[in-house]
Structure 1
Amino acid sequence: MKNLTDQDIEERYRYACEVAVEAANCGFKFYQQRESLVVEHKGDDFQDVVSKADRTVEDLTRTMISSRFPDDDFLGEETGGGDESALCTWVVDPIDGTSCFLNGLHNWCVSIGILVAGQPVVGVVYDPNHRELFRACKGKGAWVNDKPMRVHPGKDVKDGVMGVGVSHRVTPETFVPFIGNLLHKGGMFIRSGSGALMTAWVAAGRLIGYYEPHMNAWDSLPGLVLVVEAGGVSNDFLANHGLLQGNPLLLANETIFAQLSDMITQRLE
């Protein structure tokens, strides 16, 4: 594949928005009939669930992307893939927040990130329940629908609500001390069940930050672009094969990022 021009990236950015909306609309039809879905569990993790809805929506996104950009690489939560050496990789979670989806909670979304030469350049999160399209392209700012986004201007963790996520891929001892440190500093937190959606809320200034001790790339990549383009900062999520193996994720404005980093470090002492 030839090197991508700015126009090539812009074309993929616009198409990612279209794919996210169409995929979420497909998922929403399943959501309205969720009682009839057969639920399966992935491996030994009882909380990690999947249904026909996840697979159907991922198949739709893969088909749409490959029909428009057949030479681009694809990494999906349900079907895998992913090549760290690829020039352009689409990273997709067809339904982030499957447990919420299956239990009738509105905290789920379609998550699409695009890497070019190993760097995150496009992030798209679509929430069909609230008809909100969070979108960003490197160097072009971050938007929710047609409104520009900026991260929370707070100077201290007490100035807003923190988003957090956790899974059984880490032990409670890895995560609980951070929560203790946050509370001791006067902060507060929520866990909505959709990490990708919470990272979009960070970009929109609704949350002061987001932390998860281990997150997969298909949930993390959009937030990396959204938050940075909204004026925030992130850790180096892609270090040490983060694309395929996952990593911790930390997002916030620069001042609060430093405070949160200290809290995470403290728990390791």
Structure 2
Amino acid sequence: MIGDDIDRRHRFAQDCARQAGAIARRYFRSDEALSSFEKGRHDPVTQADLEIDRFLIDQLAGAFPADGILTEETGGSPARHLWVIDPIDGTLNFARGIAHFAVSIAFCVDGRTESGVVYDPIADEIFSARRGQGAFCNGSPISVRTTRGPSDAVVDAGYSLRHPTAYYLGLIGRLLANDYAFVQNGSAAMGLAQVACGRIDGFCELSLKSWDVLAGLLLVEESGGWASDFPRGPGLLQDHKVLACTRAIRQSLQDLLQAEQAWPA
């Protein structure tokens, strides 16, 4: 696949994300948004998730029928040319009327993310990155913050119900003991976008899926930050630990994450 093919998909993904965001805005804080079912504890699915999921699949399959598609709500399987989608990342926030959620679309070639788009429909901010070409918010270049060190840093420490609470409490304890401030905002895609544009300094979570983070990890890389690798192939379907941050605090945060021996590698 040549660069022009990826560029065309990158532009198309941004158009699709904006249209998907319009669907989310239509549902947001409506009775329909509050109507949901639970996939698991504190893991709702709303009508908006399902409608956006179907919309994106239809649009991408119609424009690029040979590409594979993997989404949170419908599933899929790894493919050489693969779209990885989260129709609403931060559904719990969305379902409760909290304006911190995003549409996330990544395009991968041979397991490597080449295009990433994260769209915040409420703020109308579209974060985009094309590998080797930088990262942008609404068309303007963005970069990670110049972090002086832990005492100058804010980290979004995502919480996962897939592992014992003690793991998360241990991480928070170590962050605070090492002079970090932390938040827990409930959307990995948005957290990574916030790192990329310099609003916070890092994001980490013990257990995330590819659709939560692939677009956001590329945003951080292309904005001058550091991001952990996400496994390719069958690994795209599994849970993995994620860290992305400014380079000044990379080693410190890696050490803190690795200090918990019970955490998977």
Q: Quickly name the TM-score band, shorter chain normalised.
A: over 0.9
- Residue 132 (structure 1) shift: 0.3
Q: Is the 8 A contact 2:157 2:183 kept in 1?
A: yes
Task: State the distance in 2 between where 1:65 and 1:185 align.
Answer: 45
| 1:242 counterpart SS class | helix
Aligned to 1:13: 10
Aligned length: 262
- Residue 78 (structure 1) shift: 0.4
Per-residue CA distance 1:10-50 (angstroms, 9 max, x = gap): 000001100111011111111142456421011xx320110
Aligned to 1:144: 137
- Residue 219 (structure 1) shift: 0.7
Aligned to 2:238: 245
Which stretch has the larger CA shift, 69-78 or 259-268? 259-268
Q: Is the 8 A contact 2:29 2:95 kept in 1?
A: no
Structure 2 counterpart of 1:25, which letter? A
Gap runs ≥5 in structure 2? none
Query: Which of 200, 204, 217 in structure 1 is aligned with 2:197?
Result: 204
Aligned to 2:248: 255
Aligned to 2:35: 38
Aligned to 1:78: 73
Structure 2 counterpart of 1:125, which letter? V
Query: Which of 60, 67, 79 in structure 2 is aligned with 1:65?
Result: 60
TM-score normalised over the length of structure 1: 0.94
C-alpha distance 188-240 of structure 1, shift in aligned 2 (>3 A): farther
Gap runs ≥5 in structure 1? none
Give runs of aligned pairs for residues 33-182 of structure 1, distance below 5 A.
Answer: 33-34=30-31, 37-42=34-39, 45-83=40-78, 86-182=79-175
Task: State the distance in 2 between where 1:96 and 1:199 align.
Answer: 12
- Residue 267 (structure 1) shift: 2.3
TM-score normalised over the length of structure 2: 0.95
Q: Is the 8 A contact 1:163 1:210 kept in 2?
A: yes
C-alpha distance 36-185 of structure 1, shift in aligned 2 (>3 A): closer
Task: State the distance in 2 between where 1:105 and 1:36 align.
Answer: 11
Per-residue CA distance 1:117-148 (angstroms, 9 max, x = gap): 11011110000110100000001100011221
After TM superposition, which residue ranges in structure 1, 4 or more long, deviate above 2 angstroms? 34-38, 239-242
Per-residue CA distance 1:86-142 (angstroms, 9 max, x = gap): 221111110111111111110011011111111011110000110100000001100
Structure 2 counterpart of 1:233, which letter? W
